[in-house]
């Protein structure tokens, strides 16, 4: 029997340009484990998903990041996609929201290009993580150790490289959320 997330609320933070499968599969994993998901974004309405470089579906935003707090959630998930984290890391409310999960020692999961937002939030120094390979230098410059693994867990921070890694990412993400706050999780 897998981890159970009954009563857990998970924020998925995304802007236009997120990789659809990196939202839909982790979202479904949280729901299948009994958790509740809310899509948080930098503006109200809908956000545009991508399938690689092509437009895909749009998804309704549940909450605007400027109007929420990490206190409302048990964990945070950052899908990838090239444009998505670029929009997020230039939004002060999104950056604040991401950092607040680390300050509260709550689990955070990021896949593909998602860790770009972690760099802007100043939370990767001294950590080991993985990502899409093109982020390697950015992460190293921010003080992180980059590894080429399908999933890596560092004290409540779960990271993966790409959509092919989603099964391992989803499994470790659900485990980290079920474990709850990690006292060694830090900003």
For residue 4, being part of any structural domain is answered with no
Whole-angstrom Cα distance, residue 159 to residue 174?
A: 12
Q: Round the average pLDDT of the chain to a whole number and report it.
A: 95
- What integer is the mean pLDDT of 84-107? 97
By C-alpha distance, which of 6, 38, 34, 35 is closest to 23? 38
Does some domain include residue 163?
Answer: yes
Q: Tell me if 2 is assigned to some domain.
A: no
Report whether 113 contacts 85 (CB < 8 A). Answer: yes
Residues with catalytic annotation?
Answer: 112-113
- The model's pLDDT over 31-75, given as tens digits with 9 standing for 90+, comes to 999 999 999 999 999 999 999 899 999 999 999 999 999 999 999
Q: How far apart are CA 157 and CA 85, in angstroms?
A: 17
- The CATH number of whichever domain residue 159 belongs to comes to 3.40.50.880
Q: What is the pLDDT of residue 182?
A: 77
Specify if 147 maps to a domain.
Answer: yes
Residue 158 maps to a domain: yes
Report, as an integer, the average pLDDT of 155-173.
97
Task: Answer whether residue 183 shows pLDDT above 60.
Answer: yes
Burial of 184 (0-12, 13-18, 19+ CB in 10 A): exposed
In the predicted structure, residue 140 carries a pLDDT above the cut 90: yes
Strand ranges in 32-187 using DSSP code E only, listed in sequence order = 36-41, 46-51, 54-60, 63-64, 75-78, 108-111, 128-129, 145-146, 151-154, 157-160
pLDDT higher than threshold 50 for residue 28:
yes
pLDDT higher than 90, residue 187: no
User: Residue 23 pLDDT more than 60?
Assistant: yes
pLDDT class of 2 with cuts at 50, 70, 90 = low
Can you tell me the distance from the alpha carbon of 151 to that of 110, in angstroms, rounded to the nearest whole number?
Answer: 10
Print the domain residue range for 48.
9-179
Domain membership of residue 42 (yes or no) is: yes
Report the pLDDT value the prediction gives residue 1, as an integer from 0 to 100: 44
Q: Residue 60 falls within a domain, yes or no? A: yes
Paired sense of beta strands 36-41 and 128-129, if any = unpaired
3-state secondary structure of 34: coil
Question: Does 127 score more than 60 pLDDT?
Answer: yes
> Count of residues for the chain?
187
Domains in the chain: how many in total? 1
Within a domain: 3: no
Q: Find out whether 19 and 80 touch, Cβ atoms under 8 Å.
A: yes
């Amino acid at each position: 029997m897998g981890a159970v997330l009954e009563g857990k609320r998970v924020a998925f933070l995304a802007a236009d340009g997120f990789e659809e499968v990196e939202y839909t599969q982790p979202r479904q994993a949280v729901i299948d484990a009994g958790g509740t998901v809310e899509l948080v974004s930098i503006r109200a309405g809908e956000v545009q998903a991508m399938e690689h470089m092509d437009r895909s579906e749009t998804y309704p935003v549940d909450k605007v990041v400027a109007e929420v707090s990490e206190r409302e959630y048990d964990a945070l998930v950052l899908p990838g996609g090239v444009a998505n984290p670029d929009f997020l890391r230039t939004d002060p409310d999104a950056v604040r929201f991401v950092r607040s999960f680390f300050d509260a020692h709550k689990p955070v999961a990021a896949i593909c290009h998602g860790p770009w937002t972690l760099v802007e939030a100043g939370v990767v120094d001294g950590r080991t993580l993985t990502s899409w390979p093109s982020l390697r230098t950015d992460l190293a410059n921010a003080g992180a150790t980059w590894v080429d693994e399908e999933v890596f867990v560092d004290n409540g921070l779960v990271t993966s490289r790409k959509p092919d890694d989603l099964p391992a990412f989803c499994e470790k993400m659900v485990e980290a959320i079920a474990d709850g706050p990690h006292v060694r999780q830090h900003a």
